[in-house]
Amino acid sequence: MRIGLMIGATDGPGGTIEAIVKQAQNAEASGFDNLWMANIFGLDAISTLAIVGQSTNKIGLATAVTPTYPRHPTAIAQQALTTGAASGGRFKLGIGLSHQIVIEGMLGFSYDKPARHMREYLSVLAPLLNGETTTFAGEHYNVNNVTLSLPGQQPVPILVAALGPVMLKIAGQMADGTITWMTGPNTLENYIIPTINQSANNAGKPDATIAAGFPVVLTNDPDGAREVIAKELQIYGMLPSYRSMLDKEGLEGPADLAFAGDEAELRKKIQTLRDIGVTDLCASIVASDTETHDRTRDFLASEL
């Protein structure tokens, strides 16, 4: 199982382009496999990772995740291919539907039939990222004879944030894997992983990439750490798609999902993910101070 760091969810001093480049370089020097960048309402993750790709040499780069609705699939394909070229083929594009409160309430798009939207989106996006000419006529998108050609072009794998059964089926058939958040080990083992892999295998494809995001903190005060996590991640327990995953796991909120404890406790939880077939741990370090953050980061690096 690969271990990577989740970054970019802050608008503070640690969220500047310069700081993110430095984080990426430090993560690469520490041997981390991947750097996953959230795309919320700050820096654009795809663009930032193109800059990171020019400032690093081997660490994998991925968005976790970029919402689909605000960007036409041909536009996001061009962005993704550019970042793939800038990073020498180290970039994976993580995309997702986002949430109704954002897409309809804030941006004014219709969130009706989200699965149909994603199927059509991938019908345009996937061929373009593979260097193919694309023609597609659908309810949401109509594209005629589009080809993208970039110097240094590299294929860009697609990961889809999929939690519901229909979305998991689409991700298995049409993408390379999934990225989860607020989804516990039991739900991953008994629902997410078998559902998407069956869909991929039925389509003649190998098992999917399973990138699982978890809040992580190394601490001798797990109860205190969970109080911090509960405050910082409270919103995720209220969004319907994440709430359904927490309910499926039997958890009250995001703090109950967190990997919080000493070295032995964290090592046990990481091994559980390996055992159930997670391919990538996306570790979001949620710490109340810099010392705890750095100690957690060093521990994760020791587990590579």
CATH number of 2-161: 3.20.20.30
102-106, 224-228, 277-281: least confident range: 102-106
CB atoms within 10 A of CB 3: 19
165-166-167-170 Cα dihedral, nearest 10 degrees: 120
The tokens for 132 are 């193919």
Which residue from 145, 40, 157, 55 is spatially nearest to 102, judged by alpha carbons? 40
Q: How far is CA 68 from CA 71, 125, 179, in A?
A: 6, 10, 14
Per-chain mean pLDDT for the chain? 95
- Beta strand 60-63 with 134-137 is unpaired
User: Which whole number is the average pLDDT over 275-288?
Assistant: 96
Is the model more confident about 24 or about 152? Answer: 24
CB atoms within 10 A of CB 40: 14
Is it the case that residue 148 has pLDDT exceeding 60? yes
The tokens for 251 are 């958890």
How confident is the model over 230-270, as pLDDT tens digits?
Answer: 999 999 999 999 999 999 999 999 999 999 999 999 999 99
User: Which whole number is the average pLDDT over 189-206?
Assistant: 98
Residues in the chain: 304
The tokens for 213 are 């995001």
Is it the case that residue 152 has pLDDT exceeding 90? no
Residues 6+ apart with CB under 8 A from 10: 42
Q: Which residue type occupies 140?
A: H
**pLDDT band (50, 70, 90) for residue 77:** very high
**pLDDT band (50, 70, 90) for residue 12:** low
Would you state the pLDDT for residue 135? 97
Asked if 69 and 113 count as a contact pair (C-beta separation under 8 A), the reply is no
Which residue from 189, 190, 162 is spatially nearest to 175, judged by alpha carbons? 162
The tokens for 288 are 């109340």
Is it the case that residue 76 has pLDDT exceeding 60? yes
**In angstroms, rounded to a whole number, what is the distance separating the alpha carbons of residues 5 and 213?**
9
The tokens for 193 are 């992983």
- Which helix (H) or strand (E) covers residue 67, if one does? strand 66-67
What's the number of CA atoms in the CB half-sphere (13 Å) around residue 63? 28
Asked if 124 and 66 count as a contact pair (C-beta separation under 8 A), the reply is no
Output the pTM of the full model: 0.96
**Could you tell me what percent of the chain has a pLDDT over 70?**
98
**Could you tell me what percent of the chain has a pLDDT over 90?**
93
Taking 3-state DSSP, the helix, strand and coil percentages for the chain, each rounded to the nearest 5, stand at: 50, 20, 35
Peptide bond connecting 65 to the previous residue in cis, omega within 30 degrees of 0: yes
Q: Is 175 exposed, middle or buried (0-12, 13-18, 19+ CB in 10 A)?
A: buried
**Residue pointed to by tokens 């594209």:** 143
**In angstroms, rounded to a whole number, what is the distance separating the alpha carbons of residues 78 and 304?**
33
